[in-house]
Chain A
Amino acid sequence: MNTSFMKRTLTAVVATGALALGMGAAQAEDVKVGFVYVGPIGDHGWSYRHDIGRQAIEKELGDAASTSYVESVPEGADAERVIRQMAQTGHNLIFTTSFGYMNPTEKVAKQFPNVKFEHATGYKRADNLSTYAARFYQGRYVAGVIAGKMTKSNTIGYVGSFPIPEVVRGINAFMLGAWSVNPDVKVKIVWANTWYDPGKEGDAAKALIDQGADIMVQHTDSPAPLQVAENRGVLGFGQASDMIKFAPKAQLTAIVDNWDKYYVERAKAVADGTWESIDTWGGIDSGMVEMAPYTNMPDDVKALAEEVEAKISSGELHPFTGPIYDQAGELRIKEGEMAEDGMLLGMDWYIKGIDAELPK
């Protein structure tokens, strides 16, 4: 036992791949999985859902796996040290769960070729570095359909975090969904410039409701905007996790991040030696994007939402199906064509009809 540990440490240090392979084949390796979170696990949103995924590994793999995590790791110079410490303390699979960890993850991955790394929402890959993300825009399209049906003032309030492609894509998908059932819908957008700041997020929601919004959408991680909606008697959508307990009368549904299945699969792959570097972008069909129960809406709207969800899941409906024009009137997606992933990943333009300017 002791010598095998020493050997493993040695292999990590001198990085002799051959020896490591030989050992891997000899016996199924114990999986030690590390997670790096950008927020506190109690954010009830992004980091919380990743931590649920971590717990799923413990539950599914039992004694064959152990997990650990570091929360609230700033996306600066500190990330590299934390990731490295995990690699050094015997973790053989490390999930870094925020875009800002991309470069440090790549750096550490180079130094530890025998450790597997998985980076969420980034685009840099290597033989021991996978990337994964979820097609949340599919869920936002469904939310848009519901909002289009439910709004009375035809004004949607949208709390954005940062104008990165992920968020811009979400706004576009949401509005395409809304317009598919109600062409008069308008959206007002406030950028909170934060992923997690309940005070700021709540203030943004209040300002939007004061401007006549009767549906609140958020792309920030705390339940604050939804709570404001609940207090003000308007409707809204949960973010990242089912937030019904924060807003039992306001939440229509929530776009839930479900990493459980993916994390369990990847941990098992390391355990049986079949792990390979891949790029995953999972949608509703993969279970990575989940819709929380449809509540606080009439049955016909609920039926419509379920239908749209099913169609997206089966591939019958792609939210970004042409013709789609940008604000300048340029045709971006041709009639009958679907947006390619590359275009979606780099989306930095609003579709025609959104009455706002994208911060540049």
Chain B
Amino acid sequence: MIRLEPRRSHSQAMVYLSPVLAIVMTLVVGGVIFAFMGKNPLEALYTFFILPISNSYGVSELLVKATPLVIIAIGLAMGFRANVWNIGAEGQLTMGAIFGGGLALYFYDSQSVFLLPAMLVFGAIGGAFWGAIPALLRTRFNANEILTSLMLTYVATLFLSYLVHGPWRNPEGFNFPESRPFPDAGLLPIIYDGTRVHLGTAIAVLVVIAGWLLLSKSLIGFQLRVVGKAPQAARHVGFRQKRMIWFTLLLGGGLSGLAGLFEVAGPIGQLQPSISPGYGFTAIIVAFLGRLHPVGILFGGLIMALTYLGGELAQITLGLPNAVTGLFQGILLFFLLACDVLTKYRIRFGSIAAKGRTA
């Protein structure tokens, strides 16, 4: 029998090294897989991880792709630290896009400079509102937020689908399911000409800094960590768990909603049936890849974004199938979890004598 035995103390350095180690092992295994597929492993890895960011346009696209992932993951990480498992960021993202985007559609001929700020606020409110429902159900009825937040994702997606097929359909769009294009006043300004890097990317950086300050310098950040690590102790000193649940779900929802608004007011420019290729779910991986730490999440988001861009280029230039992208993401997560486990536990090949030692 193979057993896992907790290490009495684990190296702090390994906590931060394990993502790096996981990435290195992913590269090695990826290279082997490419070799088996009959491709030159070095060329394939180059195409996958270097070529996408070998020019300024590629870097700009990396930032555009990472923006929603980072913003959402930071919100989620706060909750995960406090053992609040918000799995429904995708739905909160969608509601943010609906709330903020709806405003742009209502004022579709507006040129007001107040439109965009109002959209940002509405987007955050929409997402927070969608996060508030699982919070209410959890604190009032003790309903598991994993299930409720996940199920609400489907409600949000179908609601968006209803809106763009019905009442919000573009009257000049031949009955196709998409809204009017947003007015210029409702689009995020582009930061660098000739790219798609928009204001949302800059805000994502601010979110990283704010998240870091919140976690390391504020009382509520301290409470989050204590509630997550030692719920008994937290109760003892009077930290209110319900308040943590509300705080993290509203924050996670609000940030997801903001990310959703950035997508529709940024690269997409209108509402349509599909506005996110699953950013809300991918952000969960990003949060853990980044050790639930805002700065780590920034890097995690960039790496995850890179796998998408690399996957596209690998298809275009090497004729590799799209499944390679998912494969890479899966291997990365696998090694990350494996490294984590081995950092905190040691493997024992279980004889009875070994069992005795653990006691």
Residues of A in contact with B (beta carbons under 8 Å apart): 34, 40, 68-78, 80-82, 85-86, 88-89, 99-100, 103, 123, 162-165, 193, 345-348, 359-360
Contacts and interface: CB of A to CB of B under 8 A. Distances in A.
Contacts of B315: 68-71
B274 A75 contact: yes
Contacts of B162: 359
A89 B165 contact: no
Nearest to B158: A193
Contact of B177 (A74, A77, A162, A346): A162
Given A81-B61, A359-B165, 6 more contacts: A68-B315, A71-B322, A77-B263, A100-B274, A123-B174, A164-B175
Contacts of B308: 78
A100 B316 contact: no
A82 B317 CA distance: 12
B269 A164 contact: no
A68 B47 CA distance: 15
Interface residues of B, number: 38
Contacts of B23: none
B316 A345 contact: no
Contact of A89 (B57, B64, B276, B316): B316
A86 B312 CA distance: 10
Interface string B167-180: 10000001111000
Which 6 A-B pairs rank lowest in CB-CB distance, beginning with the nearest?
A77-B267, A74-B277, A348-B175, A70-B315, A71-B322, A360-B166
Contact of B273 (A34, A86, A162): A162
A85 B312 contact: yes
Contact of A74 (B61, B270, B274): B274
A100 B175 contact: no
Interface in B191-248: 196
B317 A76 contact: no
A85 B166 CA distance: 34
Interface in B147-194: 158, 161-162, 165-167, 174-177, 181
B330 interface: no
Contacts of A34: 316
Contacts of B158: 193
Interface string B61-80: 10011000000000000000
Contacts of A69: 315-316
Nearest to B276: A76
A85 B321 contact: no
B309 interface: yes
A82 B161 contact: no
A360 B276 CA distance: 23
B356 interface: no
B23 to A, nearest CB: 23
A104 to B, nearest CB: 9
B277 A76 contact: yes
B316 A346 contact: no
Nearest to A348: B175
B165 A162 contact: yes
B68 to A, nearest CB: 9
A88 B273 CA distance: 28
A68 B322 contact: no
B309 A163 contact: no
A79 to B, nearest CB: 9
B312 A70 contact: yes
Contacts of A71: 315, 321-322
A163 B162 CA distance: 10
B208 to A, nearest CB: 21
B75 to A, nearest CB: 20
B313 interface: yes
A73 B325 CA distance: 12
B312 A164 contact: no
Given A68-B317, A72-B322, A89-B317, A346 B274 contact: no
A321 to B, nearest CB: 22
B272 interface: yes
B272 A75 contact: yes
Nearest to B173: A123
Nearest to A37: B322
Contacts of A78: 65, 277, 308, 312
A81 B309 contact: yes
Contacts of B96: none
A242 to B, nearest CB: 23
A99 B170 CA distance: 15
Contacts of A89: 316-317
Contact of A346 (B175, B277, B317): B175
Interface string B250-284: 00000000000001001111101111110000000
A346 B167 CA distance: 16
B319 interface: yes
A4 B309 CA distance: 28
Interface in B12-65: 57, 61, 64-65
A103 B270 contact: yes
Interface in B276-304: 276-277
20 contacts: A68-B316, A68-B319, A70-B315, A74-B276, A75-B272, A75-B273, A75-B274, A76-B276, A77-B65, A77-B266, A78-B312, A81-B64, A99-B176, A100-B274, A103-B270, A162-B161, A162-B165, A346-B175, A348-B175, A360-B167
